[in-house]
Structure formats: C-alpha cells, structure tokens
Amino acid sequence: MPVILKRIITDKTFLITLILAIFSMTFGVVKLSDIDANTIMSLAALILLITIYQALNILKFVANYIIAKCSTIRSVVLVLLLCSFFGSMFFTNDVAILTLVPIVFNIAQKINVPKILTISLLTIYANLGSALTPFGNPQNIYLVSHYHLGIGQFMMMSLPFGLVALLSMFVVLLVIKNQPIDDVTLPSIEINQHKTWLLLGATLIVLLGILSVIPVYMALIVSVLAAVCSQKSVFKYADYGIILTFVNFFVIVGAISRIKYVQTLLYQHTTSSLETFFSGMITSQFISNVPAAILISKFTQHSYGLYLGVTVGGLGTLIASLANLLALRQYSALSHHHSSFGFFKTFSLLNIGLLLFFIIMGFIFLSV
C-alpha cells in the first residue's frame, strides 16, 4: 500500500488535474453524476488486464512476433497503426491504446522504433478508426441512441470519413524512415498457455462489459478474479493514477459544461450542420469530445454535423479525447524518468496538422 500511495502522490498528471478540478469548482457546479462510473469501472478492468498481460510476458511475445515478421521500421509501424485503426473499430479506442502502447515499448527495446512518434500516431488512428462503428467509442454509442440512428444511417455517415482517414494513414506513414531492421537476436519467451487462455477468456468478458452487452461491474469483477488467479502482484503494479486522473477530468468537464455562458454560446451556434460541426470540434478541444457530444446534442438535431464535429474534435489538444490523455499517461508510466514534454510537443504538432486537414474534409462532406 505505501508503494501504491507514493506512486499516486508523485504522479504529475494526477496532481495537475487535481488542482484544475479544485479550481474549476469555483466557476461551475459539480455533481456526483459527472463522474461516469461505467467509464471508471471499464478503465479499471482494462488496466488490471493489461498489467496481467505484461506480467505473463504476453506483450513481449507479441512484440517479438511483429519484429520477426517485418523487414523495416516503417513496416513495423504500419502493422501497429493498422492494429490500432481496425482494432479500435471493434474493441474501442481506449482498448487499442492500452494494449498497443506497452507493445511499442517492448519493440523499442530491441529495434530503433521512434517511440513518441509511433505512440502519437497510434493514438490518432485509434481515435479515427473508432469513428467507423456505432460501438467504437462512447460518443458514437451515445449519438446512435440519442438520435435513434439505424446501423445503415450511421454507416452512411462514417464510411466516407473512415476511408479518408485510412488513406491519410499511408501518407502520414512517410514520416517514418524506411530503415531496414538489422539482424537482432530475439530471446525466446516462454508463456504459460493455460493462464494465457484463461486471460483471453477474461478479456472477452471484459470487452462485453465495455460494449454494454453485460453489466460493466461484471467486467471489473472478472478482471479482479483474473488477477487473483494469475498473478497477485498485479494489484501492486497496476497504474491507479490513471483512474484518479480520469475522475479529476470528469469533475473539470462537469463544472465547465454548467457555466451558463457556455450553454448560451452553444445554443446560438448549432442552427445548421456546418455550425454544429464547428461547435462540436471547438468544444471538444476544451472539454473532450464525449461530453461535447452530450452537451451539444441538447441544442441541435443536426446529427451528421455533430458526429463529424466531435470525431474531428478528438484531434488537437491532449484533452480533446480521453484516449489522448490515456496515451500520455501510458507514455509517462512506461518511460519512467523521461520528460513528457517531448511527447506533448510531437503529439500536438501531429494532431494540429491532421486536425486542420480533417476540418477541411468535414467542410467538404457537409457541403456536398
């Protein structure tokens, strides 16, 4: 317990968001319901699972497999980005990031993969890929329910955007040097097959909870049981700082969203699809795209404009999407003594560049 507490109170991201949460409560009202219990339980379940995967050396095994099958650094990054893009479509962007970021670190221990650049791109394409399906991210699930969209209606909105996003990946990938992978001796990694199969079964149940097929608390219970049965030390090394950071973030968002000036401004700028698009995109930069979708939906019936706005709005600032914050936390936790400023700089430059591109594409989609 002292080790866990020490890690939490020395967690800079947690401390900064705690200060901002306290400060934000002086400007807006905060309710207990602002803290999304389902998100917190889902995140806790995922963190425990990923910690188990690490403890059982499964992520190192996957990293070695990717290296063995690829001939260049660019091809390694391409495989990771495709896993992120298509994986997030079915398993959500948070799952893709939590799973793939540790794999990047394991790969980087053996070959010269640019960690910060790769993780930044992973996060971007997890956000973009998750936009293609009704269950790829929380805002899609909400919008489909709120506007009573059929699967056909949703796919008509998402497929053109998704195709452009996928094509952009191959262009952006050119920033990665096509450097051949030198002969590298990969150590033989033994994994416990019995525990691995049990963990895969637990993972399936947790994903069903995240996708609301079963109650999410059941997913958390299963992940705890999986930790007890596989390796109890998981509880000591799990990153609880991420969970507390998200609690702080929900408090900040709740306070900002109840400021009357903000609500009035949104009401005045959601009278058309194009206005709704820009309102969704801009609002996401300050309160994240999930609460932006919930907030703006109360003022407009322009579902396509809002969908594009909060999807594109996931790019940009670190808080534009909760997945962005999750990637930063993963990088900070795994890089140990390295500063997060380098990550922030690279992440921001890539996000702003792609944000501008997709703003143009959003304008074109809504104008056609």
Amino acid 171: pLDDT: 95
Amino acid 187: pLDDT: 66
pTM score of the predicted model: 0.79
20 vs 15: CA distance, rounded Å:
9
Pull the structure tokens for residue 280. Answer: 């969704």
Amino acid 178: pLDDT: 87
Check residue 14 and report its DSSP letter.
H
Do 132 and 162 touch, CB atoms closer than 8 A? Answer: yes
Q: What is the full DSSP assignment across 83-143?
A: HHHHHHHHH-HHHHHHHHHHHHHHHHTTS---HHHHHHHHHHHHHHHHTTSTTSSHHHHHH
Check residue 48 and report its DSSP letter.
H
Pull the structure tokens for residue 65. Answer: 């497999």
Do 305 and 322 touch, CB atoms closer than 8 A? Answer: no
Chain-centroid distance of CA 178 in Å reads: 27
Q: What is the domain partition of the chain in residue ranges? A: 2-30+57-191+239-367
Please measure the distance between the N-terminal and C-terminal CA atoms of the chain and give it in whole angstroms.
58
50 three-class SS: helix
344 three-class SS: helix
335 vs 344: CA distance, rounded Å:
14
For residue 363, how many other CB atoms are within 10 A of its CB?
A: 14
Amino acid 212: pLDDT: 73
Pull the structure tokens for residue 355. Answer: 């944000």
353 vs 355: CA distance, rounded Å:
5
Do 77 and 176 touch, CB atoms closer than 8 A? Answer: yes
Do 76 and 67 touch, CB atoms closer than 8 A? Answer: yes
307 vs 266: CA distance, rounded Å:
16
Q: What is the full DSSP assignment across 206-260?
A: HHHHHTTSS-HHHHHHHHHHHHHHH-TTHHHHS-HHHHHHHHHHHHHHHHHHT-H
| pLDDT block averages, 10 residues each, the chain of length 368 | 72 78 80 80 84 81 80 91 89 82 87 91 95 84 82 90 96 91 70 86 85 85 89 78 79 78 79 92 88 83 94 93 86 73 90 96 91
